[in-house]
Amino acid sequence: MDNQSFFIFSKARSQTSKTYCYVKNPYPCYRPPKENVKPPRIIHAIRRAARDNLPSKHPIWRSSPRYHAITHTLLGNQRAMNAHRARAIDAIMECLAAHVNIVTGKVYMSLAQISDACGLTTYNLEGKPCYSRTSRAINEHLEALGAVLCDRIWDNTTGSYIPNIIWVTQLFFVLIGYEYGKYLAAQKQQLSWENQKIREAGEEPITLTEARRRAKTEHVRRAFECRTQKLARSKQHRRARKIEAMDERKARGSILQDLIKIYRKEELGAMGYNELNRIITQRYYAMCKLASAIPGTG
């Protein structure tokens, strides 16, 4: 094969490999949700360390054992980290560093938010998002190594887990090349400031353990509150679609029955026919508008 033929063959093979790249975004990069927000100096320093030191290249990946994220059993056959997974981990680590709470070590980003911020989210033909690339990078590598810990809490109402609580560990700072002693000093100082505010409010100061417990409790409370609102919106949307499918006269009668459940007879009588008819008409058109909207966007 002469030089010209070899050059043409190499170029064709290079173009073919680019065409058949199996990931949507081969070069993920963390982009802050709010570009103009200036973080505290300690957070800026931690994020810069994660960005500059490339955590996926740390030698500990080749020497430290890994454990299953849920069963905590030792993983005998360690899965190799290819270039795409390494880039995903570097972007994710920078994102975690930018959103970690100095006192508790809790990351104030959900899996979906991390995936979106790093450009790792993919979508199917129906437009439904998929976060599996981020999930695998966190569970099969970062959590398996011990750089992060994830709390998984089951929700019996929906039959699924609430968004994981992600905590960073000491190993996290080893991977990003940030001195752990500096983090501990900043953690102690920040907790002292928070305790000062707590004392001014007339309460007893808290420990790190109590701060983490409160952070976990608040996370669970907000997650369940969000799910309750989502279920209520879904229920309302289904009701709106039923109203829209009815004949208008029948639909108005159904809305009237709903109002009877909400208001007492005396209140309905005080409204008068015109006011009651106005409310029914208003609700009818509002329900029709809601029925035509995409679920989850209203």
Asked if the model's pLDDT at residue 7 lies above 50, the reply is no
Cα dihedral value 259, 263, 269, 275, nearest 10:
-50
| Strand extents, DSSP E, 120-276 | 122-123, 129-130, 148-151, 154-155, 160-161, 165-168
Asked if the model's pLDDT at residue 183 lies above 70, the reply is yes
**Tell me, what's the pLDDT at 18?**
47
Beta pairing, strands 122-123 & 154-155:
unpaired
Please indicate, yes or no, whether the overall pTM of this predicted structure exceeds 0.85: no
Which spans in 33-143 are helix H? 41-52, 60-63, 83-98, 111-117, 132-137
To which residue do tokens 């089951």 refer?
154
Report the distance separating Cα 97 and Cα 90, nearest Å. Answer: 11
What are the pLDDT digits (tens) for 197-248?
999 989 999 999 999 999 988 888 888 888 777 777 788 888 888 888 888 8
Asked if the model's pLDDT at residue 79 lies above 80, the reply is no
Higher pLDDT, 14 or 144: 144
